Amino acid sequence: MRTTILTSCLALAFASCSSSREAIKEPAKVTPVEVKAEPRRAFPETRRDAILEALFDQQVADPYRWLEDEKAPEVQEWMRLQDKAARDWLAARSGRETLEKRFRELFYVDSISVPHKRGGRLFYSRTHADKEKAIIYWREGAGGEEKVLLDPNQWSEDGTVSLGIWTPSWDGKKVAYAVRPNAADEATLHVLDVDSGEVSKLDVIEGAKYASPSWTPDAKGFYYEYLPTDPSIPASERPGYTELRFHALGTDPKQDPVIHPKTGNPSSFLGGGVSRDGRWLFVYIQRGWNENDVYLRDLKKKGDTFRPLVLGKDATYEVSAWKNQLYVVTNEGASNKRVFKVAATKPERANWKEIVPEDPEAALEGMTIVFGQLALLYMKNAANELRVTTLDGKPVRTIALPGIGSTSPIYGLQDDEEAYYSFSSFTVPRQVYKLSMKTGATELWSEVKLPIDPSPYEAEQVWFPSKDGTKVSMFVVRRKDLPCDGSNPTLLYGYGGFNVSMTPWFSSSIYPWLEAGGVYAVPNLRGGGEYGKRWHDAGKGANKQNVFDDYVAAAEWLVANGYTSPKKLAIYGGSNGGLLVGAAMTQRPELYGAVVCAVPLLDMVRYHLFGSGRTWIPEYGTAEKEDEFKLLVAYSPYHRTKQGTKYPALLMLSADHDDRVDPMHARKFVAAIQHDTAGEAPVLLRIEANAGHSGADQVKKSIAKSADMYSFLFEQLGMTAKTE
């Protein structure tokens, strides 16, 4: 079993953010100053408070701090007026109905995920063209009758109760799953009996926000991460209270024993899991996205305690255990990662043997053990490769893929030759393949069929120099016959952080854009994981400005090479990508015609005071340290807005139950831009109701949001939606 706390996805990076003032530590010194009243445009009125905060040797203005308190009636009314103004404006856009119709065709589809095999049973999710949410199914073997396991469409009349993580036991008889109100991260674990379909009334575990159940081989219980729900714990300190617990089925969860105590450090994550044979228990303590400690405990030895496997290194380690051998994927001394093997009974560092050396041209993204072989997921030039080796690292084969694109890891059991993986690209919807690990033979298991003709489009990879001369790669998707005369509407999407890689993946939402003559571009910015640890390091902390420089350089390259022009160029990003486009917008406002910013961080001086913001300090730094404060305030989008600047049109997408990135960022930034902009371009705040950081998980809400977003972009960039 491969055990790790976090995926490379920011979805697990950002955690609970409280909107109450009790969660915010106020500055030691706040000085009132006079703020001159300015004329208002057609935006809802927003009060400006006269606040200057003394931080080190600087006076930092924060006129919209009152918008941090979401529970305040004044803030609630402000949100209502802003959302109404945005929706009224968006609803009046010509072509919106055409776009909405096209999105209905693209989003209501039948599809099947990669299956997971447990006890001879296959478990997978399926979307239906007539359902709002995906349904989890199971069947006995590949040819068995398909049966419903979990159907969140039935959990609430308004569709606001969502399914989170779900984990079958090794024998396929039980499933632990999380229920999430309003698609937020806060969750409660439940246990389902697969054969009877009955949900246990005893096994109900609150505090499952970070929980990733790890089953024992006898299916009598599981280890999980528990996060106290005690409201007296400040939200900013809460991640440091995470414990590893064990739950025996049929017992009172409130009495679950603590297997590993809290760290007390809110800037770290704690998690763990047990090997498939039930002998080896791992605990990970992760600090940011560049380093973690690993502890090991032998459950076969009575009274054995956790021993450090690796401790205090500036590197990451992911450990898989099989037949009392440990397989360690690490970037220790290898930016692109390598694999070590060591006996679990003698895990001292001196006994580690390198079995898969670092590939200088490809970054190792992950590893699974399937059929007594290592299944390795690589990234070369921002696209995936699948390689298979023996347990000693000797090459067996490279899996032939349909083209240049993105794949999942190879999923299967350590002792079963049957495995599965997915593939997609910018022009190929998701395909799931069945793989024989014994012979290497593959066959198409399922594919998504959409009303799209991808043949007129092509995806090319280009390279451009950033401000400091660093070469950065970028994917550009467009019609093959599109002229490079500077007239093409172009959407530049970016992320650039937390070791997240931007690979060629399929997104049906971009096709109405492409069909209307648009260009879609995705650069591989520093801060991501496309080119290993060094690439991530070059875009985090004190190097964060490199990410923004890369993004600006991508925009300038698209303009210089005739793909588009500033008035025809839009930028889009969410979460950490929302910080990216906020920084790009405030640093180079003249370079873009429109901006879509979703669920972002934008106040980098106070972000660490909200929710689990302290867990992001290893990525960004903290304003509590003078040198880091100066770096943060220099690029913090909220603090860089300047009165009298002609800012491009802005559509801010927020969610009312976002408990990863506090929506205060979106509110404060919109208020600042509405006040400061000298142009007449719209500045809109759209707030999704009953939705978390990833949005609502109902298809109809995704359609409405996409129709709003693209009708906004179409109008700003002078596009017409294709009607046929």
pLDDT tens digits for 403-457?
999 999 999 999 999 999 999 999 999 999 999 999 999 999 999 999 999 999 9
Q: What span, in angstroms and rounded, lies between the C-alpha atoms of 454 and 699? A: 23
Residue 686 in contact with residue 651, Cβ under 8 Å? yes
Residue 707 in contact with residue 100, Cβ under 8 Å? yes
313 pLDDT band, cuts 50/70/90, is very high
41 pLDDT band, cuts 50/70/90, is low
- Strands (E) across 24-160 are located at 30-31, 52-55, 58-61, 111-112, 116-118, 121-127, 135-140, 147-150
Packing angle of the helix pair 96-107, 699-717 (nearest 10 deg): 140
pLDDT the model gives residue 75: 95
| Residue of 85, 75, 66, 58 whose CA lies nearest to 24 | 66
pLDDT the model gives residue 236: 85
pLDDT the model gives residue 441: 97
30 pLDDT band, cuts 50/70/90, is very low
611 pLDDT band, cuts 50/70/90, is confident
Question: Whole-model pTM?
Answer: 0.92
Using alpha carbons only, give the angle 579, 582, 587 rounded to the nearest 5 degrees. Answer: 120
pLDDT the model gives residue 35: 40
Domain range summary for the chain, segments of one domain joined by +: 10-104+452-717, 120-169+171-275
The residues assigned a catalytic role are 575, 693
Residue 78 in contact with residue 44, Cβ under 8 Å? yes
Residues 512-519, mean pLDDT to the nearest whole number: 98
pLDDT the model gives residue 32: 41
pLDDT tens digits for 244-262?
999 999 999 999 999 999 9
21 pLDDT band, cuts 50/70/90, is very low
pLDDT the model gives residue 13: 32
The overall average pLDDT reported for the chain is 93
Q: What span, in angstroms and rounded, lies between the C-alpha atoms of 596 and 683? A: 10
1 pLDDT band, cuts 50/70/90, is very low
186 pLDDT band, cuts 50/70/90, is very high
Beta-carbon contacts of residue 655 (< 8 Å; ≥ 6 apart): 599, 663, 687, 688, 691, 692, 693, 695, 696
Which residue has tokens 């009392």? 324
pLDDT tens digits for 658-667?
888 999 999 9
Structure token pair of residue 553: 């350089």
DSSP class of residue 697 equals S
pLDDT greater than 50 at residue 711:
yes
Fold of 10-104+452-717: Rossmann fold (3.40.50)
Per-residue burial over 517-555, b = 16 or more CB atoms within 10 Å of its CB, e = otherwise = ebbbbbbbbbbbbbbbbebbbbbbbeebbbbbbbbbbbb
Residues 676-694, mean pLDDT to the nearest whole number: 92
* Count of residues in the chain: 724
Q: Output the CATH code of domain 120-169+171-275.
A: 2.130.10.120
pLDDT tens digits for 101-117?
999 999 999 999 999 99
Indicate the Cα dihedral angle 238, 241, 245, 250, nearest 10°: -50
